[in-house]
A and B are shown apart, each in its own frame.
Chain A
Amino acid sequence: MELRASRIPGVVSLAQGVPSFDTPDAIKNAAIEAIEKGKVAKYSLAPGTLEFRETIAQHLERENKFFDFETEIIATAGSIEAITATLLAILGPGDEVLIPDPTYTSYQAAIKVARGVPVFVPLSEEKHWALDIQEFEKLITPRTKAFLFCNPNNPTGTMFKRNQLHALAQLAIKHNLYILSDEVYKDFIFNGEGKLYSLAELRGIRDRLVYIFSFSKAYAMTGWRIAYLATHQDLAKKILAVHDALVTCAPVVSQFAAQAALEMADEDVETFKNYFQKRRDLTCKRLDKMNHVFEYQKPDSAYFVFPRIKREIIQKIAPGGGSWQFAIELLEKAKVATVPGSAFGPRGENHIRMCFGRSEKDINLAFDRLEKFFGKNFS
């Protein structure tokens, strides 16, 4: 959709999930210094520089997550490499991986690359997109190897709560499953919801949990392609072999930048979060005004909202074409790019994803256009 949008002049994009900010100065300066000192031209050790991994471990400790930096942490080329390398390490052909429905669209592709089969676990929209644990267990078969999810969830902007996660952990132990917990949006939790509870804090499942964090969103570093995974050393060893074969090591300049991010950019993350909260509130306010078109669960994290399109609207705008056709109509006629909900799984149908990582100006412009478009079509 983003590519299609780029071909149409004047489109306002709420499609791509990237923050509107530039990487903070302290991070850029650290990268420049590393370049000038000649530290980035060589391969690092496959799992990353010792200093970076040590900094990661110290940072994780502050979040009650304990990993050995020497053997249990691997710096990766973005979180998608961490996910793909893990899946390649643990899946055999035809093994099944459970993913929430709806969820981040690239998970399906990563599972297929690893010759696995994605199996959707429906989330319950009316329960704030909660995981139905009973439904989850029913979908487990002898071929099920893992559950892969992001928390907070993309595209819904909602969080899986502690009790759901604990139930999930029990099922993982009972059925011998791995859990891949992608927590890329963990720093953007709004309205005093506190910090995100992570399964990485639960020591009893550390032998089957892969914790994944990317610097892309929290530190506005999408282009740097840097993330890490943390898991038990036995599994880390297997993943490292795949990671080494895929990329040798994560970009070294990005490792230095990301280390600086952990050491110096806490204030920037807080600033970004405050902006996103304001933009979330603005987006919800604008959506409320369009309650004849959309209904939605208010996101409490990340920077996405996933409104459901009312039946009569979608039938009029995109008869028979679903959310895909609806998004194309918005793009071509209202010049607003969004992502069709069907891209995130069957339960995403009749929804669109809007990203409020963009500037307030863009958000307002997009909604002005949407209001005009729906006003014209429904007056």
Chain B
Amino acid sequence: MKSIFKKIVQFHLKLLTKITLWRHRPFIIAVAGSTNKTTTKDYILKFLREKYGEKEVRGNPKSYNTEIGLPLAILYLDSGESSALRWLKILVQAKMRALFGRKFPKKLVLELGVEEKGDMKPLLEMVRPNAVIVTNIEGSYTYANSSLDNVFGELKLLVQQLPKDGYLFLNCDDGRVKELKNFTKAKVTTFGFSEEAEARAENLRTDAQGQTFDFIFQEKQESVRIKKYGRTNIYAWMAAKVVKSFL
């Protein structure tokens, strides 16, 4: 009973999401990968909002990024969690927004959550991204190569659908992610710490106040300080900076 109800909710949310996107036709920026999606999305939102204004750019609230979460992110609704009544109210709100909503941001920054084979297809049935950022493909288990290959296969589907005038931004320090450049028609830009990265971080230093590094891109160099720790934050910052420069 529960799963039938879930399927009904999913079906309607998906349909209403498609109607919404068809009506408003926003530019969709998708952030995918095993981890670091939320931080990357948050930096992209910050940079693009600086450029286009607060109301013109929207991202997933929380980390709604699955088959049921993504429509909520696009329709800007909260989850009903385990309450059937709340889900019914959400469906009513979703219908109103999809059919009659007037205001909609010009750019959507969406996390796409993919863990297993088959996860990407339902997401792509709802959204067709214009730009994609792939953060990494990493596993949480001691022995997990096959599942990483599955994730790679799913991300391949994502980059394959990018249009010729689309953008693909890849973390080239990740061997699997780097390979994705061979499966797209879109313009590819790489970022990372390695020499081959088009947008590169160098001279990373950590102190009590956070991290500093030099960012080199398009023959320009700038010194950057961020208050968070860990290389993942630098990848996220770089990805967002590159996205901002193209969009």
A residues in contact (CB < 8 Å) with B: 25-26, 29, 37, 42-45, 48-52, 54, 57-58, 61, 66-72, 203-204, 206, 263-264
Contacts and interface: CB of A to CB of B under 8 A. Distances in A.
9 contacts: A42-B142, A42-B144, A43-B141, A50-B34, A51-B140, A54-B35, A54-B36, A68-B233, A69-B230
A263 B64 CA distance: 11
B81 A68 contact: no
A297 B97 CA distance: 54
B193 to A, nearest CB: 14
A51 B35 contact: yes
B232 interface: yes
Interface string B208-243: 111000000000000000011111110000000000
Nearest to A38: B116
Contact of B81 (A37, A72, A204, A264): A264
Contacts of B230: 57, 67-72
B82 A25 contact: yes
B10 interface: no
Contacts of B102: none
Contact of A263 (B62, B82, B141): B62
Interface of B is mostly: loop
Contacts of B140: 44-45, 48-52
Contacts of A25: 82
Contacts of A72: 229-230
Nearest to B144: A42
B143 interface: yes
Contacts of B34: 50-51
Contacts of A203: 208-209
Nearest to B138: A50
Contacts of B210: 66
Contacts of A206: 208
Nearest to A205: B208
B54 to A, nearest CB: 20
B229 A26 contact: no
Contacts of A48: 140
Contacts of A29: 82
A75 to B, nearest CB: 11
A49 to B, nearest CB: 4
B63 interface: yes
Nearest to B116: A37
Interface in B49-94: 62-63, 81-82
Given A26-B81, A43-B142, A66-B210, 9 more contacts: A48-B140, A54-B38, A54-B232, A58-B39, A61-B228, A70-B230, A72-B229, A206-B208, A263-B63
